[in-house]
Amino acid sequence: MGCGQSEQCEKNDKIPAVPVQPLQLQEDTTHKRWEGRLRQNQVQGKSDKFQGLRLLFIRHGEAEKKGNRSGRSLKDPKLSPIGEQQACAVASRLLREEADAGFDIVCSPMERCLRTAYPLVCAPNAGTKMLSGHRALCHALFCEHGNDPASFEASRIAGEFPHMFGDSSSHEIEFLGFGDDARFSNVARDKAGDEVGNRTISRAEHCADWLMSYVLDRQQCTSGSAATVIAVFCHQTFLDCLLHVLVDGRADGWEYGSPQYKFQNTGLTELRVAQKPEGRLSVTVHRQNDCTHWVRPGAYACD
């Protein structure tokens, strides 16, 4: 599909602006969930740059309208034209702000997340800038609340998104959680047809543990002179539950339909993870639901 979105990524002065949420910094939350697993950075000299772990959580762009959906997109919609422009806007921002060091991508297997992340690798020179020496991982367990991870096919995703997860990629790729974990298959549903809440909580706890283990392992492979950055493309409801686990160490306070961590389309929330002197981890919400890339004039071009 090439970039598949370049025609929608050109500047359009008539694009409606998405209101920007005021910055909501959360105080350090220190908990024992991953105690002792973060290596203390040994960096000589002083630096004003953060040198721990940075997790960038990005919600997908606007999904196509229900009346435009058919076939598989009835349950797994693509992006609307505005959603495609939002994807290009957040890609332009990440290419501008993070390209020097680059980062790994972790993506939901659902179309709207895959298409939001795709401009990062299909725009001219984007893949070279962003993913050189890095990885792209498609993790089925990061699908939205109410979906069965076993219903997604890695081969189809690789074929539809070749520059990110297929033969045309120049970086490491990996597929995880595709039908190999019975705890999350054959999803139980309540009378309204929605996924039972504790199933989403179980997935969020599993993904939080996996994600923290992954970024800590990745940090061991670096020199310690810069932060380890992971960009996660996911969904409102699942991200809300996941951030409960990552920030609070548990999801006891999570309730479907009452999000604490709200995301507008392509809103970006950053967590910073550092080690306290006593060895425990400190998780800080550094910025929440940041949409400034979407209201910035001229930020909509993928090339």
| pLDDT of the residue at 171 | 86
Distances (CA, A) of 43 to 51, 171, 273: 9, 28, 17
- Residue 5: inside a domain, yes or no? no
- Residue 163: inside a domain, yes or no? yes
- Residue 33: inside a domain, yes or no? no
- Residue 240: inside a domain, yes or no? yes
Domain extent for 171? 51-265+275-295
pLDDT digit string, tens, across residues 70-112: 988 999 999 999 999 999 999 989 988 887 778 899 999 999 9
Tokens for 87, please give them: 């994807």
Candidates 201, 227, 199, 198; CA nearest to 215 is 227
- The Cα 52–Cα 38 span in angstroms is 9
- Residue 82: inside a domain, yes or no? yes
Tell me, what CATH number does 155's domain have?
Answer: 3.40.50.1240
Asked whether 53 and 284 are in contact (CB, 8 A), the reply is no
Distances (CA, A) of 202 to 207, 209, 241: 9, 11, 10
- Residue 230: inside a domain, yes or no? yes
Candidates 261, 262, 263, 219; CA nearest to 243 is 261
- Residue 241: inside a domain, yes or no? yes
- The Cα 82–Cα 61 span in angstroms is 8
Q: How many domains does the chain have?
A: 1
- Residue 14: inside a domain, yes or no? no
| pLDDT of the residue at 44 | 31
Backbone angles phi, psi at 137, to 5 degrees: -120, 130
pLDDT digit string, tens, across residues 116-141: 999 988 766 565 556 667 889 999 99
pLDDT higher than threshold 50 for residue 279: yes
Contacts of 264 (CB under 8 A, 6+ apart): 18, 19, 21, 59, 289, 291
- The Cα 54–Cα 56 span in angstroms is 6
Percentage of the chain modeled with pLDDT above 90: 42
pLDDT digit string, tens, across residues 25-52: 444 555 556 654 444 333 333 334 666 7
